[in-house]
Amino acid sequence: MQVLNAVEIARMAMREPNSLGAEIAFGTVTWFVYAGISCFLVLFAGIMSGLTLGLMSLGLVELEILQRSGTPLEKKQAATIFPVVQKQHQLLVTLLLCNAASMEALPIYLDKIFNQYVAIILSVTFVLAFGEVIPQAICTRYGLAVGASLVWLVRILMVLCYPIAYPIGKILDCLLGHNEVLFRRAQLKALVSIHGQEAGKGGELTHDETTIISGALDLTEKTAEEAMTPIESTFSLDVNSKLDWEAMGKVLARGHSRVPVYSGNPKNIIGLLLVKSLLTVRPETETPVSSVSIRRIPRVPADMPLYDILNEFQKGSSHMAAVVKIKGKSKKAPLVIEEEKSQEVAVTGGSSLKTKNDKSDSVVVDIEKPAVPATVTSTASADAVTNAQSSDDIEDGEVIGIITLEDVFEELLQEEIVDETDEYVDVHRRIRVAAAAAASVVARAPSIRRLTAQKAAGGQNKEGQSPKKSSEEPSTPRRLQGSLREPLLDNKR
């Protein structure tokens, strides 16, 4: 009914313009000029309203992301808008000022060509439809494209409104500051998980991608103590032991490339042994461990972030480090490593091992370090003394575990990396590898059947011929094979 009444009133106003207070007769040139100005004001108000919502919703961070990773068109549009959006408060005042001016001027022209009732109805209808709803809906969806197309108009308006918009914008800058929102780690993780395929919102990121990104964000908060293998569950060799068939079999069964070496107490780690250096060692000679090349093992504090450990591993000094428990906070403590990664020590007969003090059983490997130049500044000397004190604290600390590059990668992937020789998926929780347990059962059954068949055949092969024994095959390798079938220690390393 209200719509019909409004239409009837409009017809009456057009037929009798002077009867309801209209000042300009319908059909004259002035009437069309005023009508055109009214339409222009509605469209201008709509553009200002849409740009206010569209441009102000584009943050500086979002525009920088589009400039770096968007399509060529998006990069161009973002680069065009970015200088204007940087002046956020001045832009906001300019757009609102122009919008308010057009809104206030519209009734003045409508009152000249329509009576007051028709003017109110038309102004509300056109302003609501063409000045608010439609422009804001379009600019919300295509704010970047619309803003880049009309940035020239925005620049002109900012110049025209400069005397008013600039002071107010500066006052808002002082009171509210700039709105440069950056995401925290937790927010980035939530954002990545939302864009994952598992969220069901149309994201393109797979489960592995979201897991790795989340692991990389968490890596700086995780410490060496969380990722290490406890020293009690670590396979190591005594420096005073011999590399006989039993020891070589255990090393071979473990499948590690590096084995920690201790002296007396398993917590007294003095270095590491590269398994590839044992290629020239003959088990029958029972060579002492102290007679082979032992590398210095780096020591890291237990609260050292994994990112710092990863950076040290990337330098190539070592891919294994001993985690020590020292007093006080030491997240910034330096890594105690050798000067050069190729620097090794050949320990013969244990003569190169020396005790640090009488009360401690700690033993270090004697390595000749390069001479330090005599021309050193006082600042460098002070830093060297500080680093030396931190290094001494780490050296004196108690070894509580071993950490490797694989441990850091597992924390990054947030999944356990299981190889052929691993018995436990998680050493801390004592979770066994199901495949390894099943494989061990399956592997033992054929061996038993084979031995039973050989005994039943009386030492003959399938063709009824006695198997030929090679004169070059010694009897000792049977001991090695037997050692390979021994159960592994409680360690995945």
Helix (H), strand (E), coil (C) string for the chain:
CHHHHHHHHHHHHHHCCCCCCCCCCCCCHHHHHHHHHHHHHHHHHHHHHHHHHHHHCCCHHHHHHHHHHCCHHHHHHHHHHHHHHHCHHHHHHHHHHHHHHHHHHHHHHHHHHCCHHHHHHHHHHHHHHHHHHHHHHHHHHCHHHHHHHCHHHHHHHHHHCHHHHHHHHHHHHHHHCCCCCCCCHHHHHHHHHHCEHHHCCCCCECHHHHHHHHHHHHCCCCEHHHHCEEHHHCCCEECCCEECHHHHHHHHHHCCCEEEEEECEEEEEEEEEEHHHHHHCCHHHCEEHHHCEEECCCEEECCCEHHHHHHHHHCCCCCEEEEEECCCCCCCCCCECCCCCCCCEECCCCCCEEECCCCCCCEEECCCCCCCCCCCCHHHHHHHHHHHHHHHHHHHCEEEEEEEHHHHHHHHHCCCCCCCCCCEEECCCCEECHHHHHHHHHHHHHHHHHHHHHHHCCCCCCCCCCCCCCCCCCCCHHHHHHHHCCCCCCCCC
Local confidence band at 392 (pLDDT 50, 70, 90 cut-offs): low
CB atoms within 10 A of CB 79: 14
Partner residues linked to 354 by β-bridges: 364
Which one has a higher pLDDT value, 411 or 375? 411
Is residue 385 pLDDT above 90, yes or no? no
Q: Domain extents for the chain?
A: 2-176, 185-218, 224-368+377-417
Local confidence band at 109 (pLDDT 50, 70, 90 cut-offs): confident
Average pLDDT for the chain: 73
Among the listed ranges 126-130, 190-194, 203-207, 423-427, which one has the minimum average pLDDT value? 423-427
Is residue 432 pLDDT above 60, yes or no? no
Is residue 486 pLDDT above 60, yes or no? no
Among the listed ranges 61-65, 176-180, 203-207, 247-251, which one has the minimum average pLDDT value? 176-180
**Predicted structure pTM score:** 0.56
Share of the chain above pLDDT 70, in %: 65
Homologous superfamily of 224-368+377-417 in CATH?
CBS-domain (3.10.580.10)
The predicted structure's pLDDT at residue 104: 86
pLDDT tens by residue, 298-333? 888 988 999 899 988 888 878 899 999 876 555 454
Which one has a higher pLDDT value, 150 or 490? 150
pLDDT tens by residue, 180-214? 677 788 888 888 888 887 767 777 888 888 888 88
pLDDT tens by residue, 348-380? 333 334 333 333 333 334 433 334 344 334 444
pLDDT tens by residue, 255-293? 888 899 988 888 888 898 888 888 888 888 888 888 888
Hey, what amino acid is at 311? N
pLDDT tens by residue, 209-230? 888 888 888 888 888 888 898 9
